[in-house]
Structure 1
Amino acid sequence: MISFYYAKPSLFSRPVWITLIEKGLAFDPIVVNMGGDQFTPEFRALNPFCRIPVLVDNDLTVTESQAILDYLDLQYPQPKLLPESAQAVAKVRQVQMITTNELIPAIGECLMKKPDQQVYAKHRAMTALNIFEGLLEGPYFGGDHLSLADIVAGSVVPVVCDLGFSLDQLPRLRNWLKALMVRPAWQQTQLTAVEKDRFLRSIRALARLWQKRRRQRAEELLVPNQNTPPTIG
């Protein structure tokens, strides 16, 4: 039996969750309360970095969402989520990495910064969306069939839209997202309106706390330490 450790709001957990459903795999979903459960000795034994998702399949423990996705597609190849040609695989990987390295950080910046400080983050997000529009030549990034690119990007683009970004000028991407959102795997894994609001508020609260602690630390560094001996010479 597969055990899947995740948190529903996690943008890194959702692609794995969707993949498990799309492949029709039986699994034990184990919710990790990211308010502290990730630091327990039991979870640290699974992932010393204290991050989700984690997948345990018999005696194998896999961390990092991209590694988990590759494992699932090779270990359980039906339906296959990676295309055959080198060109198509390159496109799939490009979409996955742009989503992870550009789109997700842009979302974080938009949530954590004031509106007048979001110019770069918004440009970063729109650049990614425009690249996706150009890469979509068929119904899916990998061709005629669903791929890991669709699952990874399709877990994140809806969040971008929730933040006010429009796909009106990106018709291929808009139609692609509409087709994904009616699939059962997306229906089962989407946040409710209440969960979504709670998630966004928690991210903003964490941002304010982080900024407060950064200011406090800066102030501490500016105050001379009375216990520090004077420098000689």
Structure 2
Amino acid sequence: MLKFYFAPLSINARRVWIALLEKQIPFEPILLNLDGDQCSAEFTKINPLQRVPVVIDDELILVESLAILDYLEAQYPATALLPHDVNAIAIVRMICMICLTDLQPATIPLTKQLVGLPVEAATVQTAQQRIIQILQFFEGLDDLTGNTFTLADIVAGTLVSSVPMFGISMASFPKLTAWLERLSARESFQQTAPSSDQIQAALPNLKKILETR
């Protein structure tokens, strides 16, 4: 059976978790608390980068969420999470790349501020402005807020849903707000959403990790 190493507060792991549930792939969940257990000899042997997610399928070990999502889509094609149209595929890929290379990095200084680490005001302002620019771009994409559920919904949805905790209002993004409401009604999103207790318990560990970034 496929093994899935994850941490409840990891957005990277959550997107893989959602894909596994949506595609109804049987898997064994293996929890890491990221309290130092990611640095254990056992886990380091599996992933020398010492981070989640990790998927082990037979003898194949995969790290990095987008690579894992691509593998799951190719190896388990039932319940497809990629469209067939070439243009639509390109847009899904575009959204995923924007999230990974632009939106997610912009949340890092805001997350540092959230856990009580010092961050320069100018850095916070720049990050907030960048996130708003990306949200404005996403607001105009019918492919993101439409009715077909794809990898773009998973990758963007797990990130955009975290934006309000950084003090950024979604009031100016009615399409995105409605889209997030639809996503939050899906069983996969509900099952993988961290509880308030899990969030509070993970914050000290998250702070230690962010101190090194």
TM-score (norm 2): 0.89
Residues 1:199 and 1:120: Cα distance change in structure 2 (over 3 Å): farther
**Superposed, which structure 2 residues align to 1:1-233 within 5 Å?**
1-113=1-113, 114=119, 116-117=121-122, 118-137=124-143, 139-140=145-146, 144-200=147-203, 202-204=205-207, 207=210, 209-210=211-212
| Structure 1 counterpart of 2:116 | none
Q: CA RMSD in A?
A: 1.9
Displacement of 1:33 in angstroms is: 2.5
Q: Deviations over 1:126-162 (max 9, x none)?
A: 111111111234743xxx4210010011111111122
| Separation in structure 2 between the aligned mates of residue 97 and residue 14 of structure 1, nearest angstrom | 17
Cα separation, 2, equivalents of 1:63 and 1:204:
23
For 1:138 and 1:99, locate their aligned partners in 2 and report how far apart those are by CA, in whole Å: 12
Amino acid in structure 2 at the alignment position of 1:13: A
Question: How many angstroms apart in 1 are the aligned matches of 2:212 and 2:35?
Answer: 15
In 2: Cα distance, 1:100 partner to 1:153 partner: 9
Indicate how the Cα distance of structure 1 residues 115 and 165 shifts in structure 2: closer, same or farther if over 3 A, else same.
farther
Seen in structure 2, the aligned counterparts of structure 1 residues 55 and 206 have a Cα distance that, compared at 3 Å, is closer
Using a 3 Å threshold, how does the CA distance of structure 1 residues 156 and 138 change in structure 2: closer, same or farther?
A: closer
Residue type at the aligned position of 1:158: S
Looking at both structures, which has the greater relative contact order when contacts are Cα pairs under 8 Å and sequence separation is at least 6? 2
The size of the alignment, in residue pairs, is 207
Query: Unaligned regions of 5+ residues in structure 2, if any?
Result: 114-118
Taking structure 1 as the reference length, the TM-score comes to 0.82
Q: Post-superposition shift, 1:185?
A: 0.4
TM-superposition CA deviations, 1:72-115 (whole Å, max 9, x none)? 11111111001111211111111111111122111111122447
Q: Do the aligned partners of residues 63 and 203 (structure 1) sit closer, same or farther apart at CA in structure 2, a change above 3 Å counting?
A: closer
